Amino acid sequence: MDKPPLKFYNTLSRQKEIFTPIDPNKVGLYSCGPTVYDYAHIGNMRSFILSDMVRRTLEWNNYEVNQVINITDVGHLTNDTEDTGEDKVERQARASGQTVAELTKPFIDQFFQDLNSLNIKTTGTAFPKATDYITDQINLIQTLETKGFTYQTSDGIYFDTSKYEKYSELGHLNLDAQNKDSRHANSTKKKQPADFALWKFSDETTARLQEWESPWGIGFPGWHIECSAMSMKLLGNHIDIHTGGEDHVAVHHSNERAQSESATSETFVNYWLHNAFITVGGKDKMAKSADNFYTVTDLAAKGWPALAYRYLVLTAHYRSPLNFSEESITAAKNTLINLNQEIFSYPEDGDILTDYLEKFTEYINDDMGTPRAIALIHEILSTTFKTADKRATIEKFDEVLGILDENLINKTDDIIPEEIESLADDRDIARERGDWDQADLIRQQIELKGYTIKDTPNGRKISHIDYINLMLYYNM
Ligand code: AMP
Ligand code: ZN
């Protein structure tokens, strides 16, 4: 049977489109990376899981992928939609009395570790830093200036969005409404509210930690120009796929597209892909500024392996918001451990179940339908096929999903989070003083967090609850 065609949902057209590469064998993929003034949180990591899934899906379809994920270490302002406020990296370095390199190094190192523990492929991927491409950014701004797309204000060089006809397309922006909005008119020196900084002048009175000579004086690049410059330099003027979180659609990606296409008169990107947010409490975006975030390290400290988070993310479609909670990550952890335990208990060297393989490709090629692909795994496990064949088939799927890991079985099984141990201690104390109601209440709390507690002649025994079907139920 022929493979079903690979389709991606393109934010530009607001529909699923059949993927046709520019070069028949090699696909260019650019993903907006972290701003390294702090540790990346697991909301950010969803966007890199998306990038990884795009890469793995392309590889599943026999394409070679040229992948770039940038590291933002200059120009990302605290109010990035208005081009005002402070440079996030510069501000943090000053506050901690460090150089930018000193500040960013641990965050960058941790970022790579997080990618690794989330099973995000990095072989062959380029991770360019914005500060290593300043000349390319200046050259690009000069091209835009020569072509008449820029103007100067007292604080920098700006891109004139009224000169790029297609500006509103990607974000479905209502520019007339923006232009009439008096809040913008009062707060900006820009000609149109949507215009954005390409180059910002340094303040004459204070030297910045990071500033460069340019044809317009000493200063630093705006945030958006780095992605255009690095994408064009490393992957060419016209690339296949660009990804990021959905907050990038209306501003960052609209701006990247405007400046790139204005400079080259070519299409910049064929397919724009965006992930929805990780939320907390059912509605709020997980964000550094909201102080409602977890990092991968935080998860590990509570006994949730990074792969449990990857599994959780894949149980939802990437374009649907996903709520993160202690209950959902605990359920994901337990399901994933059971899954790994079962698969690695089966014999090796089985045959792949071809009907299931075809179904898997159909789901994955349909805009990366990971919830259905994961449900298929559980369906296979419930069949009466030979266990070796089940294992072989699911291991084949794992080339795309990346959720199998033999270490997970031994390692996490005996890790009981500190929080649970401490609740169990409280329960012991309540039992000692004969407060059975209180002991029962604590046991319920422990169960709510995904663990059971049994009293044996050798003392208490804590283990995790089997959630396999519960998880499927949640996501179907
Ligand atoms: P930043 O480090 O802020 O530049 O963001 C890195 C990536 O994470 C971008 O693609 C953002 O769109 C994405 N992102 C930020 N917050 C979330 C969230 N809560 N859920 C999913 N993606 C996010
Ligand atoms: Zn970007």
List per-block mean pLDDT (blocks of 10 residues) for the chain, which spans 476 residues. Answer: 90 98 96 95 98 98 98 87 83 90 95 98 98 98 98 94 96 83 64 94 86 95 96 98 97 97 98 97 88 94 96 98 96 96 96 98 98 98 98 98 90 70 92 92 86 78 60 40
| Domain match, 143 and 13 both | yes
Determine, yes or no, domain membership for 383: yes
Ligand 1, atom 7, lies closest to the CA of 44
| Domain match, 331 and 453 both | no
Pocket test for ligand 1, best of 29, 32, 44 (most atoms within 8 A of CB): 44
Helix, strand, or coil here: 452?
A: strand
pLDDT recorded at residue 3: 82
| Domain match, 102 and 136 both | yes
| Domain match, 145 and 218 both | yes
pLDDT recorded at residue 469: 38
- The position carrying tokens 């992928």 is 65
CATH number at residue 229: 3.40.50.620
Ligand 1, atom 2, lies closest to the CA of 34
| Domain match, 204 and 328 both | no
Domain carrying residue 456: 418-467
pLDDT recorded at residue 449: 81
pLDDT recorded at residue 237: 98
| Domain match, 324 and 430 both | no
CA 304 / ligand 1 centre spacing (Å): 21
Determine, yes or no, domain membership for 476: no
Count of Cβ atoms closer than 10 Å to residue 326 Cβ: 15
Helix, strand, or coil here: 171?
A: coil
Q: How far is CA 275 from the centre of its chain?
A: 7
Query: Residues 137, 140, 144, CA angle at the centre, nearest 5°?
Result: 140
Instruction: Give, rounded to a whole angstrom, the gap between the first and last alpha carbons of the chain.
Output: 28
Count of domains observed in the chain = 3
| Domain match, 110 and 231 both | yes
| Domain match, 328 and 222 both | no
Determine, yes or no, domain membership for 300: yes
Q: What residues flank ligand 1, with Cβ below 6 Å? A: 32, 34-35, 43-44, 46-47, 72, 244-245, 247-248, 275, 277-278, 285-287
Q: What phi and psi values does residue 186 have, to the nearest 5 degrees?
A: -80, -30
Q: What is the value of pTM for the model shown?
A: 0.86
Continuous segment of H or E residues that includes residue 448: helix 436-448
Determine, yes or no, domain membership for 1: no
